[in-house]
Chain A
Amino acid sequence: MDFMGAYSLDHLSFLMEGFWVTLKVAFISIVLSFLIGSIVGILRYARIPVLSHVLAFIVEIIRNLPLLLIIFFTYFALPEIGIDMEITSAAIVALTVFESAMISEIIRSGLKSIEKGQIEAARSSGLNYYQTLRFVVLPQALRRMVPPLVSQFISLLKDTSLAVVIALPDLLHNAQIIYGQKQSYVVPMFLIIAMMYFIVNYALSIIARRLEVKRV
């Protein structure tokens, strides 16, 4: 094991470049999938005929497929039908599709967890459907959604590492290039990238726990 050689300044800055790509891809995908997931979740909750069923069908299919397959599909199969994307966009699209499905389920079950009586009470106090959702259901449901949402974001950040299969230059990919030079770099490289992933994700989970304690 050659820690000194493995952790040279060049290598560390190369790792940081990869880490930056990981964080960037994860952040964009989190924002996009939160938006799309919320819309899909609310539409499913609203029980709009046909649309809600179609969405339910699509969400179930996506949720039950491996993300790795979706990434492969987006990058290698879609060009066959004329949708060609470069690596980073393909990674973001694949992650967003998969995570939107997951997040929509969290949003939907959060909304569903609000007791019927509350909605009935709000409606009979003269609030319309939209007002009920906005002032009564959402504020309560959001609190319950925070912990599962954050753990979903953590898995998204971890899942960006799957994009090494399409050669996204992320943290894992850059580490592979470094330890590819020398056998003695392998263990040091895995230790440092594990720590990098760990620090970010653990920080996120601590923030989630704080929020949970404060708001309940």
Chain B
Amino acid sequence: MDLYLEGFKYTIIASLIALVASFALGTIIAVMRIAPLKIVNVIGTVYVEFIRNIPLVVIVFFIFIVAGISGTAAGVLGLTIYTAAFIAEAIRAGIMAVPKGQLEAARSSGLTYGQAMRFIILPQAIKIVIPPLGNQFINLVKNSSVLGIVAGFDLMYQADLVSSQTYVVFDVYIFVALFYLVLTIPLSLGVGYLEKRLGKTS
């Protein structure tokens, strides 16, 4: 039981760190993709298109083997890099959904591009972006199970450990599945609720 709780703790912590980091990185990349500078656009686009189209496991293995850091760190870093690409897309879609006139009005009121983004566009975009971000967070929690493959001490890893020591496989995995559901089902319900509520107000 202690092992499961230990794994549960690692899964939650890894997901939270990766969430915060990938939200920060994703926002930067989303802004890069729509910035009025061609080279910056291209870098953002290449990042998103490349990362979105290769498997997470490939990224995590690559970091684990090449960087020579612990499995947990490699997993969190890989999750961050991978999820940031999806979050960047969600945020970009949100920003594009804010009417162009808003940016023009802000700019002609004397705000700089950065100020217009920070005070006018992003606060409105966030509202549109919350449900898809919630979905990304659910994916992130589920994807954190790849830590198990690189010895990241998460739930999957502990399940593997317990089942190989006790030769009980079926029950162990059902039990671990329940741990994951405890995390993901409330998140799913929350996202569904937000989708309905935000859908009504707009």
The 9 A-B pairs at the shortest CB distance, nearest first, are namely: A201-B53, A66-B145, A64-B184, A161-B55, A158-B55, A66-B142, A77-B170, A68-B145, A80-B170
A127 to chain B, nearest CB (A): 29
Knowing that A76-B163, A172-B61 are A-B contacts, what are 13 other residue pairs whose CB atoms are under 8 Å apart, sorted by A's residue number? Answer: A60-B188, A64-B138, A68-B145, A72-B156, A72-B160, A72-B173, A76-B169, A76-B173, A165-B149, A198-B54, A201-B52, A201-B53, A202-B49
A194 at the interface (CB under 8 A from B): yes
> Which one, B54, B144, B177, B181, contacts A197 given CB within 8 A?
B54
CA distance A164 to B65 in the complex (A): 16
Are the C-beta atoms of A64 and B185 separated by less than 8 Å? yes
Q: Which residues of A contact B55 (CB under 8 A)?
A: 158-162, 172, 197
Q: Which residues of A contact B174 (CB under 8 A)?
A: 77
Count of B interface residues, CB-CB < 8 Å: 37
Are the C-beta atoms of A190 and B62 separated by less than 8 Å? yes
Are the C-beta atoms of A64 and B170 separated by less than 8 Å? no
Count of A interface residues, CB-CB < 8 Å: 37
CA distance A160 to B176 in the complex (A): 22
With most chain A CB atoms within 10 A of its CB, the pick from B49, B58, B65, B180 is B58
B147-202 CB contacts (< 8 Å) to partner A = 148-149, 156, 159-160, 163, 169-170, 172-174, 176-177, 180-181, 184-185, 188
A187 at the interface (CB under 8 A from B): yes
Jot down 19 A-B pairs with beta carbons below 8 A, ordered by A. A60-B185, A60-B188, A64-B181, A65-B184, A69-B173, A72-B159, A73-B177, A76-B169, A78-B170, A158-B55, A160-B55, A172-B55, A172-B58, A176-B61, A187-B66, A194-B50, A194-B62, A197-B54, A205-B53
A16 at the interface (CB under 8 A from B): no
* Chain B residue at minimal CB-CB distance from A175: B58
CA distance A162 to B148 in the complex (A): 11
CA distance A203 to B108 in the complex (A): 41
* Chain B residue at minimal CB-CB distance from A199: B53
* Chain B residue at minimal CB-CB distance from A80: B170
> Which one, A65, A76, A161, contacts B57 given CB within 8 A?
A161
A binding-site residues for B, Cβ under 8 Å = 60-61, 63-69, 72-73, 76-78, 80-81, 154, 158-162, 164-165, 172, 176, 179, 186-187, 190, 193-194, 197-198, 201-202, 205
A70 to chain B, nearest CB (A): 9
* Residues A161 and B58 in contact in the complex (CB < 8 Å), given A68-B156, A69-B180, A186-B66: yes
A98 to chain B, nearest CB (A): 10
Are the C-beta atoms of A197 and B185 separated by less than 8 Å? no
B86 to chain A, nearest CB (A): 10
> Which one, B49, B143, B173, contacts A73 given CB within 8 A?
B173
